[in-house]
Amino acid sequence: METTVGRHRRVIMFPLPYQGHVNPMFQLANLLYSKGFSITIFHTNFNKPKTSNYPHFTFRFILDNDPHDERYANLPLQGMGAFSRIFLFNKCGADQLRHQLELELSAKDEPPVSCLITDASWHFTQSVADSLNLPRLVLRTSSLFCFLIYASIPLLDDLGYFNLSDNTATPLLDGLGYNNVPDDERLEEQVAEFPVLKVKDVIKIGFKKDNDGMGDIISNMVKQTKASSGIIWNSFKELEQVQLETIRRDIPAPCFLIPFAKHFTTASSSLLDQDRSFFPWLDQQPRNSVVYISFGSVAQVEEKHFMEMVHGLVDSKQSFLWVVRPGFVSGSTWLEPLPDGFPGERGRIVEWAPQQEVLGHEAIGAFWTHSGWNSTVESVCEGVPMICSPFWGDQPLDARFVSDAWKVGVYLENGWKREEITNAIRRVMADEEMRERSTVLKQKLDASLIEGGSSYESVESLVDYISSF
Ligand code: UDX
């Protein structure tokens, strides 16, 4: 397919190469393409997207092309270690990026480049863009409230919140998760600076300001997002109005809030094949009767916790559709720990599913989620109440907002205990008021997409803004 005919401006987009970041960037790319821009995607070879799904985009593979470069030849491909690329490329990717951008800016047979849009965590790209006088917008794939809390990590650290934790390790690097939160009554107290949060939510983020790798990434991400020419969020104004006002007061860059799942699905940017074989079964289930379970693309559990989940599900007596990614259970290839006869007729287990389509299915009554931000927004988009089992990073913050601010879910905040799992599933499936609140939130979102609504206006002003460069 011809990529540039009739298209007079080009946008270069550079996602972080992980599923939770690739999905919203490609949804945004589809949206900008539909508005008349030509799209060039910069990507690592690691977690390469299926380019055949995007014949209308141009792809350039950068940063890890040289198999003999020892800096990345030995980086892990799986598990938490795969995140080490974020550290490495932020440190040493600038020259390669500048070289590729210079080629694009001087290309005679392509439309002129309006701007670069990168994931916010590619913080090294701001100085490269500045050196070429190229406007850089960022896509921030988590919530606005997460950004505000991350921006306050130095303050929260100085106030001593992180000293309550035994966990000095960096979970993204060692895969430990947050299981070392100590038993201390102060953990249940509110955080004065963010009253929705409890102290333990802050600790569960899993990293702090000091010289640990993830703390550095976050502080640089915040700094270079503030320095950018604009911030695009996968959200909508009615969900995060207060946070939007705070950010607009503190940061000069314009903000654009767009709930991507309402524009495009993530089917074509899925890095794993989506199993659809369960749909005939799902089609036969009564309305709001099935719990959909998925913990995103990265989270892992220990086998003993996995077994608590299994027992909690069995005891709930609810039907379920469970996405168990290969490797989700530490030390297992896939489903080895499952007891004979499970899941039986009441459930289906798949490796990966078309999540948005599943959430939109009328048989789905609740979503048991790790509270990744894409999953949270997708659930809000379909009006599905949640059971939240967050792991680290933004997820404990999302879970707290879902349960305590928007009241469209239950937070399983004591880890993996079968009785609590059973109770949470039963409660969410039976709670008609929570279902009603989820529906009202979805209706607000739908209204924001109509001409004159906040999300509609955000798309229009983003297009005008990019066109003005
Ligand atoms: C991570 C963080 O958790 C998230 O908060 C951050 O904003 C981005 O990086 P991840 O853990 O993978 O992402 O979770 P999530 O943000 O929920 O993204 C998962 C994506 O995979 C969603 O778009 C979801 O629809 C998709 N998915 C998940 C599938 O397509 N099929 C599945 O079976 C499961």
The residue contributing the CA closest to ligand 1 atom 29 is: 355
- Give the burial string for 272-291 (b: 16+ CB within 10 Å, else e): eebeeebbeebeebeeeebb
Q: Model confidence over 233-252: pLDDT tens digits? A: 999 999 999 999 999 999 99
Q: Model confidence over 11-47: pLDDT tens digits? A: 999 999 999 999 999 999 999 999 999 999 999 999 9
The tokens of 187 are what? 């953990």
Can you give the pLDDT at residue 207? Answer: 78
Q: Model confidence over 266-277: pLDDT tens digits? A: 999 999 999 999
The residue contributing the CA closest to ligand 1 atom 11 is: 296
Can you give the pLDDT at residue 66? Answer: 86
Question: Higher confidence at residue 176 or residue 127?
Answer: 127
Q: Model confidence over 309-319: pLDDT tens digits? A: 999 999 999 99
Given the residues 64, 119, 212, 398, select the one marked as catalytic.
119
Pocket test for ligand 1, best of 328, 374, 388, 401 (most atoms within 8 A of CB): 374
* Ligand 1 atom index nearest CA of 299: 11
166 is catalytic: no
Can you give the pLDDT at residue 185? Answer: 74
Q: Model confidence over 214-224: pLDDT tens digits? A: 888 999 999 99
Helix (H/G/I), strand (E/B), else coil: 119:
strand
Can you give the pLDDT at residue 3? Answer: 56
* Ligand 1 atom index nearest CA of 369: 17
Q: Are 75 and 81 in contact (CB under 8 A)?
A: yes
Q: Model confidence over 394-442: pLDDT tens digits? A: 999 999 999 999 999 999 999 899 999 999 999 999 999 999 999 999 9
The residue contributing the CA closest to ligand 1 atom 9 is: 20
Selection from 433, 426, 431 nearest residue 412 by Cα: 426
CA of 297 to the centre of ligand 1 (A): 6
Percent of the chain exceeding pLDDT 90 equals: 82
Can you give the pLDDT at residue 403? Answer: 98
Percent of the chain exceeding pLDDT 70 equals: 93
The mean pLDDT of 76-102, rounded to a whole number, is 88
- pLDDT-derived band of residue 95, with 50, 70 and 90 as boundaries? very high
Q: Model confidence over 116-132: pLDDT tens digits? A: 999 999 999 999 999 99
Of 77-81, 135-139, 275-279, least confident by mean pLDDT is 77-81
Can you give the pLDDT at residue 186? Answer: 80
How much is the CA Rg of the chain, to the nearest whole Å?
Answer: 22
CA of 180 to the centre of ligand 1 (A): 25
- pLDDT-derived band of residue 177, with 50, 70 and 90 as boundaries? very low
Of 10-24, 134-148, 154-168, 378-392, least confident by mean pLDDT is 154-168
Question: Higher confidence at residue 83 or residue 30?
Answer: 30
List, chain by chain if needed, residues with CB within 6 Å of any ligand 1 atom: 18-21, 23, 141-142, 266, 270, 294, 296-298, 323, 352-353, 355-356, 372-375, 378, 394-395
Judge whether residue 192 has pLDDT over 60.
Answer: yes
21 is catalytic: yes
* Ligand 1 atom index nearest CA of 323: 33
CA of 396 to the centre of ligand 1 (A): 15
- pLDDT-derived band of residue 83, with 50, 70 and 90 as boundaries? confident
For residue 199, how far is the Cα from the chain centroid? 23
CA of 370 to the centre of ligand 1 (A): 9
CA of 296 to the centre of ligand 1 (A): 4
Selection from 85, 102, 88 nearest residue 12 by Cα: 102
CA of 22 to the centre of ligand 1 (A): 9
> What is the secondary structure of 245-273 as a DSSP string?
HHHHHH--S-EEE--GGGT--SGGG-SSP
* Ligand 1 atom index nearest CA of 398: 5
* Ligand 1 atom index nearest CA of 294: 34
What average pLDDT is seen over the chain? 92
Judge whether residue 68 has pLDDT over 90.
Answer: no
Q: Determine the Cα–Cα distance for residues 358 and 364; give it in Å rounded to an integer.
A: 7
Q: Are 402 and 331 in contact (CB under 8 A)?
A: no
Pocket test for ligand 1, best of 273, 375, 376 (most atoms within 8 A of CB): 375
Residue 131 CB neighbours (<10 A): 11
ipTM above 0.95, yes or no: yes
